Amino acid sequence: MGYYEEEDLNRFPEIGKHRPELFEKFMAWYEACQADGALSRREKALIGFAVAHAVQCPYCIDAYSQACLEGGSNMEQMTEALHMASAIRGGASLIHGLQAHNSVNKVSM
Partner 1 sequence: MVPALPFLNPQIEVARAPNRFDEKLTSHSLELRASKVETLQVNVGKLCNQACKHCHVDASPARTEIMTRETVEQVIGALRQFRFPTLDITGGAPELNPSFRHLVSEARDLGTHVIVRHNLTVMFDPGQSNLPHFFREHEVEVVSSLPYFLEQQTDAQRGQGVFHKSIEALLRLNAVGYGVDGSSLVLNLVYNPVGAFLPPPQASIEADFKRELLTRYGVSFNHLYTITNMPIKRFLDYLRRSGNEERYMRKLVEAFNSHAVEGLMCRTLVSVDWTGRLFDCDFNQMLELGVAPELPQSIAEFDPLKFASRRVMTGAHCFGCTAGAGSSCGGAVVNSL
* Residues binding partner 1 (CB under 8 A): 9-10, 12-13, 27, 30-32, 34-35, 40-42, 45, 48, 59-60, 62-64, 66-67, 69-72, 74
Q: Smallest distance, Å, CB 106 to partner 1?
A: 45
Q: Smallest distance, Å, CB 23 to partner 1?
A: 11
Q: Which helix (H) or strand (E) holds 61?
A: helix 58-70
Q: Smallest distance, Å, CB 87 to partner 1?
A: 24
Nearer CB in complex with partner 1: 1/35: 35
Sign of torsion, CA 58 59 62 68? negative
The answer to whether 4 touches 59, Cβ cutoff 8 Å, is yes
Q: Smallest distance, Å, CB 36 to partner 1?
A: 8
Give the whole-angstrom CA distance, residue 87 versus residue 92: 8
Nearer CB in complex with partner 1: 11/106: 11
Q: CA 81, 96, 87: angle at the middle one, nearest 5? A: 15
